[in-house]
Amino acid sequence: MATTLKLSELISSLSYALDITEGQPEGHCIRSCWIGMHIGAAIGLNEQQLWELYYAILLKDLGCSSNASRICELYLTDDRQFKQDFKLVGASLPQMLGFVFSNTGTHAGSWPQRVKSILNVLRHGKEMADELINTRCHRGADIARQLRFNENVARGIQSLDEHWDGSGRPLGLQGEAIPLNARIALLAQVLDVFHITHGRQAALAEVAARAGGWFDPELVRVVHSLRDNTAFWQQLEADDIDTAVLALEPAHCMVPLDEDYLDEIAEGFGQVVDSKSPFTAGHSQRVGHYADRIAAELGMEAARRRWLKRGALLHDVGKLGVSNTILDKPGRLDGDEWAAVQRHAGYTEDILRRITQFAELAQVAGAHHEKLDGSGYPRGLRAEQITLETRIITTADIFDAINAERPYHPATPVAKTLDIMRQHLHNAIDAECFAALERVLRAEGAV
């Protein structure tokens, strides 16, 4: 697998997970990359610079999950809708006020509570925005570095929300002090968002209006030079935009994607998932650990265990498409909320299935909420349809979900966790996998 899968294929496919976290139509990062790479080529960037730009744009939203829970807490609103609408807001006071009134307190329990929330944002909005963007930008840059990308890529992600006139965040950089990758990425992002929502002419008008404010005026001139490039716009709107973007990666700068690097990327995106909620911090890593140990206990050979651990690390990537108003809710979910949670398993499969070489892994990871008695989701599979690998991930996932603190229950001692799990043997939990988990926990001194 590692010899045939390219880094660009893997990252571009996983970028769809970042799109759903931001509440954007699928392919947003891909389309932004198409736009940005044409800007980069037009201003004469060399192959190395284009390669760095390519990954800075595909991974521009790498830190996007890290402030989702805080958005819900501060604004009493749906984080995904908030993020989606925020990308349409410029610097004008009427736009900002309209955004605040439309997106603050939408999940407040009462009208007085909503009014109080709006007043709090009007008083402290700048500090709140500073906190949220600072968290997002620095977290994204840190994960990019963990994924072996160089400082030019990391700084491009970190500086995505800086503005040409110095009014941006997190550092208030101005003009050419803003990394070129970030200047291009922000321009490409806004052009794509307005092109999708309002059409080509409105998108061009929007970036022109922000020239000298948000955007480098020279880069805006480059964008307007593409106004009559029919092939550029047709491909941007085409169903095969993914293939076109893969072809843009500079060939001489491609990085080998070996087994170790695949592991690191799976771990990195597992961190993106776990950053979505304070209650899931470390969850993917722990599920990966226990799935690997259970598989070893059951005698699975090393290469297959390594493959399985990647699936365990990525099993919840679909949760990036679920609002934190649901994920962090302390009480019982209503029918619509539960349906939204259930959709995450299908999202996981859809995202991983975009990677041709991950077809089997997508099915294994996406089925981690199926039950042996057929009462699980998303497909209601029965025992004979559920693979051993999925049963292992399910066992590890259930153990950590009960053992760790969640919004609806405190942390549960290991012994009690195992007692609870025993009640679900044969209908939800595979007995052999559970017995292997018990042996692992004894060996680790947990029981």
Q: Render pLDDT for 74-111 as a digit per residue (tens, 0 to 9).
A: 999 999 999 999 999 987 888 889 999 999 999 998 99
Share of the chain above pLDDT 70, in %: 99
The 10 Å Cβ neighbour count of residue 41 is: 13
For 327-420, list the strands marked E by DSSP.
Answer: none
> pLDDT value at position 252?
84
Please check the confidence at residue 270 and state whether its pLDDT lies above 80: yes
Q: Residues with Cβ < 8 Å from 100, sequence gap 6 or more?
A: 118, 121, 122, 125
The residue length of the chain stands at: 447
Helix (H, G, I), strand (E, B) or coil at 29: helix
Please check the confidence at residue 117 and state whether its pLDDT lies above 70: yes
Per the prediction, the chain carries an average pLDDT of: 95
Q: ∠5-8-14 over CA atoms, to 5°?
A: 90
pLDDT tens profile 422-447: 999 999 999 999 999 999 999 999 88
> pLDDT value at position 170?
94
Mean pLDDT of 257-264: 94
Which of 194, 164, 159, 191 is CA-nearest to residue 32? Answer: 191
Phi, psi at 357, each rounded to 5°:
-75, -10
Mean pLDDT of 292-296: 98
CA–CA separation, 316 and 207 (whole Å): 36
> pLDDT value at position 3?
46
> pLDDT value at position 4?
74
CA–CA separation, 206 and 223 (whole Å): 12
Helix (H, G, I), strand (E, B) or coil at 425: strand
Confidence bin at 1 (pLDDT 50/70/90): very low
The 10 Å Cβ neighbour count of residue 316 is: 24
Query: Quick one: which H or E segment has residue 413?
Result: none
Confidence bin at 375 (pLDDT 50/70/90): very high
Helix (H, G, I), strand (E, B) or coil at 332: coil
CA–CA separation, 333 and 340 (whole Å): 10
Q: Provide the β-strand partners of residue 406.
A: 409
> pLDDT value at position 255?
86
Mean pLDDT of 390-405: 96
Helical ranges in 45-179 per DSSP H = 47-58, 68-75, 79-86, 93-103, 111-146, 151-158
Mean pLDDT of 276-297: 95
> pLDDT value at position 2?
42
Mean pLDDT of 111-139: 94
Q: Provide the β-strand partners of residue 215.
A: 211
CA–CA separation, 56 and 48 (whole Å): 12
CA–CA separation, 311 and 331 (whole Å): 30
CA–CA separation, 394 and 347 (whole Å): 17
**Which are the catalytic amino acids?**
319
Confidence bin at 213 (pLDDT 50/70/90): very high
Which residue bears the tokens 């009690």? 416
Please check the confidence at residue 17 and state whether its pLDDT lies above 50: yes
> pLDDT value at position 386?
98
Sign of the Cα torsion 34, 52, 191, 62 reads: positive
Confidence bin at 394 (pLDDT 50/70/90): very high
pLDDT tens profile 310-325: 999 999 999 999 999 9
Mean pLDDT of 378-404: 97
CA–CA separation, 278 and 274 (whole Å): 8
Helix (H, G, I), strand (E, B) or coil at 282: coil
Which residue bears the tokens 């365990």? 312
Query: Quick one: which H or E segment has residue 105?
Result: none
Confidence bin at 278 (pLDDT 50/70/90): confident
Contact call for residues 325 and 107 (beta carbons, < 8 A): yes
> pLDDT value at position 56?
98
Contact call for residues 185 and 160 (beta carbons, < 8 A): yes
> pLDDT value at position 254?
82
Inter-helix orientation angle 68-75/79-86, to 10°:
90
CA distances from 157 to 246, 252, 404 (A): 20, 23, 32
The 10 Å Cβ neighbour count of residue 93 is: 7
Lookup: tokens for 353 = 């299935």
